[in-house]
Structure 1
Amino acid sequence: MKTLTLLRHAKSGWDDPVARDFDRPLNAKGKRAAAMVGRHMRSLGLAFDHAIASPAVRVTETLEQIESGYGRTIAPAWDRRVYLASAATLLDVVHGFPAETQSVLLVGHNPGLEDLVLMLVADGADPLRDAVEDKYPTASIAELQFDAGSWEDIGSATARLTRFIRPRDLDPTLGPDAD
């Protein structure tokens, strides 16, 4: 069995005057949410034998905060293909995971992560899938399990969505901002 955990970067600062989207940092709420998600990951006993991530600043800062709560170093392989990748590109990345790995963390961006979940999990009466389809918020985790012997065997409708954790599920103050 293979387990793929998808983590969307935490909330970034749109008001930060960076020249490139790639360089956009987290805002204070994003830092707080990522640290809380890291603590929750630790409480669940989540462990990964491989990690891969977009090298964008908001992803690297998300992982720093996740690690502070998680209590472990994640040390991902940084892969530029993950930056703003489509679901199809992300699936190509998944197909290239080392054969011996069983549990992988993939850290990136939307809409690619959300679209990947919706591609890999069959449409049906699944409240977790419905929640992902409704919105895959920043700093959220989706855990997918596959009855596959190889990462290359993973394709459309082959996953079970076993967890979908949003920061607001852990702390309501981390939910959407009220306008």
Structure 2
Amino acid sequence: MKIAILPGDGIGPEIMAEAVRVLRALDLSGMELHDGLVGAAAWRVHGHPLPPETLALMHACDALLFGAVGDPACDGLERHLRPEQAVLGMRKELSLFANLRPAKVFPGLEAHSSLRPEVAGAIDLMIVRELNGDVYFGEKGMRTTADGEREGYDIMSYSESEVRRIAHVAFRTAQGRSGRLCSVDKANVLET
């Protein structure tokens, strides 16, 4: 198995060093680790947060191990060159549209929640979030209002196929768990 190691910025290299240590300790047969640059680290070397070399590496590997991106020193860059754009680029390039986030309180930690321990201990949720539509990839810009104020905008949109594919992930996830699914949206306010 080929694994792309993409430490990125900030705490990324620190946590990735430990993750790589664990992988090497496993000594899995056929495992190959390949280093790549993303975020500010990539911008400093290649002039882009997600350079073609990294994209090629991602496509050549079976898995990605990603750290973190972001660097306040890059805040003045044009939006498309900022380190965080690497995350959006990876999502789009690899069609990584579904984010699964478990929410569960580990036994023994129930009393440390702001909820009653018996309520906190019963929490076992899987949040499924769509990552390729919405304001992340919609049109963005700045304009001047009729009153002369600057106004930023991000257009939110979802195609039927984007909604369908994330719904399928949510339904399959629910089937493997409690069988229940709750869809959360703002249909009373938003057309999307």
- What is the TM-score of this pair, normalised by structure 1? 0.31
TM-score by length of 2: 0.30
Structure index of larger Rg: 2
